[in-house]
Amino acid sequence: MELFVHQRVPGKSFGWISYTLSKSERNRRGDDELHLFALDQPHILNVIYSRHVAAGFYGGFRFRLTSGNPYTPVTGATLDADANRYAAFRGAASSERLPLYHQLDLRLEKSFVYDEWILNVYVDLMNVYNQRNYEYYMYDYRYRRIIPLEGLPFLPSFGVMGKF
């Protein structure tokens, strides 16, 4: 299910809110039973807004909130002395979820209009409040400690784009 609300005032502002409610399942090779897909995100919310500030400047933001991806937890481990490594005992497949993912991005853009082309210069500030969003869990070699892999931290970027 999807809900999408869009508002545009030509030359002044635009924005939208979108919400998706979904369930993504797959069956594994040789198995008729359905299992959650590794990238299943039941809830996805996006809020975007941009407005003309002054003299060709536009400013805006994007806020994103999604359910964490499913993962299969490790419930314990034992040392396999023959292989000289630990073997994990896994819980039910895709029975746990990573924490909620949320991020706020800001953008400031300036347009320079010439006779036959437009030059845009912009600054993007991604993940403004430096949220530590987990993308995946790894374990130490004994499967005793979870090591989260994080997405991008606060990331400023600058760009130039020409339109002909």
Cα angle at 63 between 162 and 101, to 5 degrees?
Answer: 120
Checking if the pLDDT of 147 tops 80, the result is: yes
How confident is residue 24, by pLDDT bands cut at 50, 70 and 90?
very high
The tens digit of pLDDT for each residue in 33-51 reads 888 888 899 999 999 999 9
pLDDT at residue 29, rounded to an integer: 79
Taking each continuous run of H as one helix and of E as one strand, the counts in the chain are 0, 15
Residue 55 has pLDDT above 90, yes or no: no
How much is the mean pLDDT over the chain?
94
C-alpha torsion 141→145→148→149, nearest 10: -10
Average pLDDT of 50-71? 94
* pLDDT given for residue 28 in this prediction: 78
% of the chain residues with pLDDT over 70: 100
One-letter identity of residue 80: D
19, pLDDT greater than 80: yes
- Give the C-alpha distances (Å, rounded to integers) separating 75 from 60, 68, 96, 136: 45, 20, 12, 17
Residue 2 has pLDDT above 80, yes or no: yes
| Residue 148 in this model has a pLDDT that exceeds 90 | yes
Q: Are residues 147 and 132 in contact, defined by beta-carbon separation less than 8 angstroms?
A: no
Q: Say what the pLDDT of residue 126 is.
A: 97
**Model pLDDT for residues 105-145, shown as the tens digit of each residue:** 999 999 998 999 999 999 999 999 999 999 999 999 999 99
pLDDT in tens, 74-104: 999 999 999 999 999 999 989 999 999 999 9
Per-residue confidence at 1, pLDDT binned at 50, 70, 90?
very high
